[in-house]
Amino acid sequence: MIRAGVVDGAHHEVVVVGGGQAGLSLSHHLVAAGVDHLVLERDTVAHEWRDGRWDAFTLVTPNWHCRLPGYPYDGPDPDGFMKRDEVYAWVRRYADSFDAPVAEGVAVTHLAPREGGGFDVTTTAGTISADAVVAAVGGYHRPVVPAWASGLPDHVAQIHSHTYRNANQLPDGPVLVVGTGQSGTQIAEDLFLAGREVHLAAGRAPRVARRYRGKDCMTWLAEMGVYDIPVAARGLAKRESTNHYVTGRDGGRDIDLRDFARRGMHLYGRATGVEVGGAGGGAITFAPTLEADLDHADSVAESIKNDIDRYIDAHGIDAPPEERYVPVWRPQVQPERLSFDEIGAVVWSVGFRADWSWLGPHAPDVLDGEGHPRHVRGLSPVPGLAFLGLPWLHTWGSGRFLGVADDAAHLAGALAAHRLAGAWEGPGVALATAVAGGA
């Protein structure tokens, strides 16, 4: 990696905002093509893998899914799951492998149209200009907590999953984890394995079995081409879908909330708010949705197995049959409140909100009514402005190591064409509006 700097007033053909795997993947292609560019990273390269994950974090996708442009995983355990610090080091080595020009510790604060075309990019280190700007910052920017969280008493510590590191970080006493996506379920397990009493408020997130019929389910899905299906074929609502929960911890295993309950974890339905007064000074309230949400998660896991069965049969693959899952626990009651005095901390794992405020005057032209970037495979209706690394940018794999390389290659081709032609050929406002977020 070349530790570049921002020279106030300098011009670059391309400015890439974000020094994670998406921005680096694009930089790899631009370096190979000889395109003058600068990658701006507000912190350090790949820092989210180190700073935004808990201590025991592992990938949930097998290591062989990690394949950035010119840089496939080549470690000793392709079917294993890298831990947090291993992923961080792997991405850092990638930046070094092709001398990516990265300016670390530089945040972009404002983007404005430049007279004569292109952009003025205001940063914390000065203002530069560019013919094209690529936002490679993902879609998860600001941690979300519900508004009613302010109604919890002071003795209940509150953190977001983004800042959770380990059980010792929290005060003594029972912990409530709110949310059962990938982070919430894994953090609940982390706390439980540390000997903490855990309450878990479930949501509508689906689950997937770790392995089935002799192979990791995600390997089956990759072989079946599921990660390559464009979002346009699935419907744009897929952008809002929650990833299936599973874990790569200790070599990989299922996450089964029913098994958590059987082993002593307390499960609830969706957290709905707080009620003040009464026993314990008040309580957190829950909807009676637990049983339905558990059944939904199981049904998704079983439907994936059905798809795998059909694939195996259609291709005559020799894979031993396997008995199907039988629920190991069912709720006898669905508790609707948890007193404040029964918990010492809450871990909020209810997602993130995108923050595109730095797009400045371009925001109304680029964002749809729900705040999603409008684009066609990353190309926005604003000539020269593009996106990379978004979940479902083009396929299910787009926001993952598995698919970002293909998206980066496609976008690099568009940038190269722009450079040769001397004028950006974007998709046009009408086309971007028609697809309302990209095909």
Shared domain check, 61 and 8:
yes
Q: Which of 127-136, 341-350, 368-377 has the lowest mean pLDDT?
A: 368-377
Two tokens at 220?
């089956």
Predicted pLDDT at 431 = 31
Closest residue by Cα to residue 292 from 309, 268, 262, 326: 268
**Residues 147-178: pLDDT tens digits?**
999 999 999 999 999 999 999 999 999 999 99
Does the structure show a pLDDT above 70 at 371?
Answer: yes
Does the structure show a pLDDT above 60 at 83?
Answer: yes
Shared domain check, 185 and 111:
no
Mean pLDDT of 396-425: 82
Shared domain check, 405 and 302:
no
Confirm if 429 and 381 have CB atoms less than 8 A apart.
Answer: yes
Give the residue from 351, 386, 419 where a domain finishes: 351
Predicted pLDDT at 420 = 60
Distance CA 195, CA 151 (A): 28
Higher pLDDT, residue 419 or 417: 417
Does the structure show a pLDDT above 60 at 379?
Answer: yes
Share of the chain above pLDDT 70, in %: 92
Question: In which band, very low, low, confident or very high, does the pLDDT at 200 lie, cut at 50, 70 and 90?
Answer: very high
Range of the domain at 365: 2-141+354-435
Distance CA 193, CA 235 (A): 39
Dihedral in degrees, nearest 10, Cα atoms 302, 304, 306, 307 = 170
Give the residue from 318, 351, 384 where a domain finishes: 351
Predicted pLDDT at 3 = 78
Shared domain check, 425 and 281:
no
Mean pLDDT of 203-227: 97
Predicted pLDDT at 237 = 54
Question: In which band, very low, low, confident or very high, does the pLDDT at 243 lie, cut at 50, 70 and 90?
Answer: confident
Average predicted confidence (pLDDT) for the chain: 92
Shared domain check, 313 and 169:
yes
Share of the chain above pLDDT 90, in %: 84
Shared domain check, 274 and 251:
yes
**Residues 418-432: pLDDT tens digits?**
666 555 544 333 333
Query: How far are the Cα atoms of 35, 74, 102, 129 from residue 416, in angstroms, in the given order?
Result: 8, 29, 20, 18
Shared domain check, 381 and 361:
yes
Does the structure show a pLDDT above 80 at 271?
Answer: yes
Higher pLDDT, residue 237 or 318: 318
Does the structure show a pLDDT above 70 at 292?
Answer: yes
Give the residue from 307, 329, 351 where a domain finishes: 351
Number of domains in the chain: 2
Mean pLDDT of 123-132: 96
Shared domain check, 158 and 136:
no
Whole-prediction pTM: 0.92
Q: What are all long-range contacts of 79-82, with beta carbons under 8 Å and residues at least 24 apart? A: 79/216, 79/219, 80/248, 80/251, 80/252, 81/248, 81/249, 81/251, 81/252, 82/58, 82/248
Two tokens at 308?
């795998």
Predicted pLDDT at 375 = 92
Report the CATH number that the domain containing residue 254 is assigned in CATH.
3.50.50.60
For residue 70, count CB atoms less than 10 angstroms from its CB and return exposed for 0-12, middle for 13-18, buried for 19 or more: middle
